[in-house]
Amino acid sequence: MPGKREQNREQNRQALIKAVLDSVSEKGISETSVSEIIQRAGLSRGMIHLHFGGKDNLLAAAARSSSEEYYDGLEALLQSGGDSPQERVEMIVRGDLSEPVLNRRNVSIWYAFRGEARNRSAIAEYSDTRDDRLRNMILNAFTRIVREAGREDPVLSARDATHGTIALMEGMWTDYLLHPDRFDRDEALRIVFRFLAALFPAHFSLAGAVPPKN
């Protein structure tokens, strides 16, 4: 077991990362200064240089942390889910649009980092990993769905279905970013599933995806 030294060390590292994510979500990247970070973390000025070697590295670590949190949650969800490919797709979509994942804080953080990713290679790197993991999960499911559909000429290749589904979810995130107030989670879910139902009518039923209207 780790001694108190190591324990404190890790605790402070995490406190710095959390402080960055809090600040980025509330004030944006441009206002996330060293002073802001250490004030939120309640630590001393030198800690950033000590633990991360500089502010940029800390930002990159925070971006990675946020990304990993997202994926760990999604994969945990998949563990508990059914085995059929349509169930897996459904769980991913539901998970991706669920409140613990898609919320103001996460959306703010995600888009703030993306906006700067182009120019901060350290941040940009994690982005690909994230993307590939999600893409593979969905691609595996759609590959089975397309195969089961068993037509000679499928409406859509598994690759295209994956690409489109991810784009659809990404677009919903953007919608949330731009209109957090009027965003309707059920509506977003309904739309994604209607699109999927139109593409694969045998696999995605509308009834399962849409709450009764009354």
Partner DNA sequence: TAGAAAAATGGACAATCGTCCATCTAAAGG
Partner DNA sequence: CCTTTAGATGGACGATTGTCCATTTTTCTA
Binding site for DNA (CB under 7 A): 3-6, 8-9, 12, 31-36, 43-51, 53-56
- How many beta carbons lie within 10 A of that of residue 188, not counting itself? 21
Count the helices and strands in the chain (H runs, E runs): 10, 0
Lookup result for tokens 């559909």: 149
- Among positions 51-80, residues that touch a second copy (CB under 8 A) are none
* Nearer to a second copy (CB atom), residue 13 or residue 40: 40
Tokens standing for 190?
């309904």
Pick from 141, 11, 155, 12: nearest CA to 78: 141
CB of 66 within 8 A of CB of 103? no
Per CB under 8 A, the list member of 50, 122, 149, 166 interacting with a second copy is 166
Q: Is 155 in the site for a second copy (CB under 8 A)?
A: yes
One of 43, 75, 164, 185 touching a second copy (CB under 8 A): 164
Please, what is the minimum distance in Å from the beta carbon of residue 88 to a second copy?
20
Structure tokens at 133: 């993991």
Give the orientation angle of helix 55-79 with respect to helix 104-117, to 10 degrees.
Answer: 130
Please select the residue that binds a second copy; options are 36, 75, 87, 116, rule is CB under 8 A: 116
Give the binding site for a second copy (CB under 8 A).
27-31, 108, 111-116, 118-120, 127-128, 131, 155-156, 160, 163-164, 166-172, 174-175, 177-179, 187-188, 190-192, 194-195, 198-199
